[in-house]
Structure 1
C-alpha cells in the first residue's frame, strides 16, 4: 500500500489535480483536514472508504491511522490544504512513516498564494518591477520562526511578500514593513480564495489595517505586499520579444 499526500487545493473542490482526484477514487482510506475540505471533494472517495477527520487528532493519532491502514494493506489519501510543500505539516508525518517503513508519495496541489493571486488577476513577477516572491508567515501561537527569518529582513530585500497565517497580526506586519516599503506601497488581502465567502481588500500599507478590520477578516487570508500589485508601465517580457533569437533554446521563464 501507499500513503498519498495529496494537495487538495485552496478550497474549491474543482481545483484539485486530476491525479489527486483519481487517487481519491481508488483509496480505501482518506484522512482530511476537517472543515478545510469541501464535502464535494470527499464525494470522489469510494462509497465504503474510511473517512477520518484529522482536525481534532494529534500527530501521533494521525500517524497511527496511516500505519494501521498500511498493516491492513489499504491505500491512503492524506489530503492537505493547498500544496503539501507549504505549511502542510507533512514533514513530521513523513519522518514517522520513514521510521515505520511505510511507503508514501506526494501529489502537488494549487497553493493558497497562487489561488489568491488568481483572484487578484495579478502576476507576481513583473519585468523590472519585481522578480522575486518571498513566502513567509508571522510568529503567533505556532512554532517559532528561525533566526534571521523576520519581516524586517525580508522587507529589506524589497521583494514581493506573500504572507500566510498573518492576518490577525496585520498591525505588526504594517509596522515592520513601512520602514522598508513606505506607507504608499500597494497591499492586497484575499480571504477564502476560491471558496464561498471569498473577500478581497486592496489598499496600501498606510490604510490596509482599517480596511481589513472593517471587512471583518480574521482567518484563511493571504496578505500580499509589493509594487507588482499596482504595476502598469513596465516593459514586456523578453520571453515573447520579437528581438529574441528563436533558433536557440527557449529562454527560461
Structure 2
C-alpha cells in the first residue's frame, strides 16, 4: 500500500496524526526534499529506506514504489503542505492506477493556511471578502488566459499566490492592472511555521522596494486583499439578536 501524505507547512507538529503514524510504520519513504522539513524523517524507523525525490524523475519514483509493492512493503510518499495543491500527485496516482498499485491520500495543512495562522488573519471577513483565490503567477508551468492574475484581480477577493515570489514585480503589475488599487495591503510570508519564518507587510505600491531590502526565496507565500487591514462587519454567528438552530435570539 502507498500512502500519499501531506507533511504540513513546516512545523513537524503540524503533520496530521494519521500522517505521523504512517511515517512511523513505513518501510519506504520518498519525500519532497526541496520543501519538506527533514525533522519529520526523525519519525521514521531506523531500518526504513528513505529517498529524496528532489533528485528523482517520475519514472524513478514509480519504480521504487513498484519494487516496494512487489516486496509487500508499505511506502509513504511525503509531500509538503497539502499534496492536492501544486503537489504534482495526479500524474503519480495515474501511474499507480496503470500499474495496479493501491494507494490513498492523507491531507495536510497547506502553506496558505499556515500563512493565515502566522499572520493572525482571517481571510473571509464579512463585508470585505467571502472568497479566497489560490493561484500562481505563470512561470514554466503555463496558466490559462482566464486564470491570469489580472483577470482574477477583477474579483477583489483575498488572493493567496504560490510559487511567484521571484516574479514579484510582475505579480504586482498584474494585480494593479486587474483592478487592485496601489494601496491594497499585501503580506509576504517566507517558510510559515518554520523556526526561520519571515514576514514582510506593505502595499502594492511599496512591497517591491521592501523586498529588495528584505530578500525572500521561492518558499514565500504572497497574500493580497483588503482583509489584511479591514474595518469589517462582525459575524452574525455570535450576534445576540441572531437566531439559529442552536440558539434563540435575545429579546
Q: Structure 2 length as normaliser, TM-score? A: 0.95
C-alpha separation between the residues in 1 aligned to 2:6 and 2:33? 14
C-alpha separation between the residues in 2 aligned to 1:248 and 1:198? 40
Displacement of 1:35: 4.0
SS in 2 for 1:105: strand
2:161 corresponds, among 160, 163, 171, to: 163
Ranges in structure 1 where 5+ consecutive residues have no aligned partner: none
Residue 12 (structure 1) aligned with residue 27 (structure 2): no
Tell me the alpha carbon deviations over residues 38-60 of structure 1, each in whole angstroms, 9 at most, x when there is no partner.
23211111111111111110111
For residue 241 of structure 2, what is the aligned residue in structure 1?
Answer: 243
Displacement of 1:248: 6.2
For residue 29 of structure 1, what is the aligned residue in structure 2?
Answer: 28
For residue 65 of structure 1, what is the aligned residue in structure 2?
Answer: 64
For residue 51 of structure 1, what is the aligned residue in structure 2?
Answer: 50
For residue 97 of structure 2, what is the aligned residue in structure 1?
Answer: 98
Alignment of 1:128-167 (within 5 A): 128-141=127-140, 143-167=141-165
CA RMSD, 1 decimal:
1.5
C-alpha separation between the residues in 2 aligned to 1:182 and 1:147? 22
C-alpha separation between the residues in 1 aligned to 2:245 and 2:85? 38
Ranges in structure 2 where 5+ consecutive residues have no aligned partner: none
Displacement of 1:26: 1.0
For residue 191 of structure 2, what is the aligned residue in structure 1?
Answer: 192
- 4+ residue stretches of structure 1 with deviation over 4 A? none
Displacement of 1:128: 0.6
C-alpha separation between the residues in 2 aligned to 1:211 and 1:181? 19
> How many residues are treated as equivalent by the alignment?
247
Q: Structure 1 length as normaliser, TM-score? A: 0.94
For residue 172 of structure 2, what is the aligned residue in structure 1?
Answer: 174
Displacement of 1:240: 1.9
C-alpha separation between the residues in 2 aligned to 1:39 and 1:160? 31
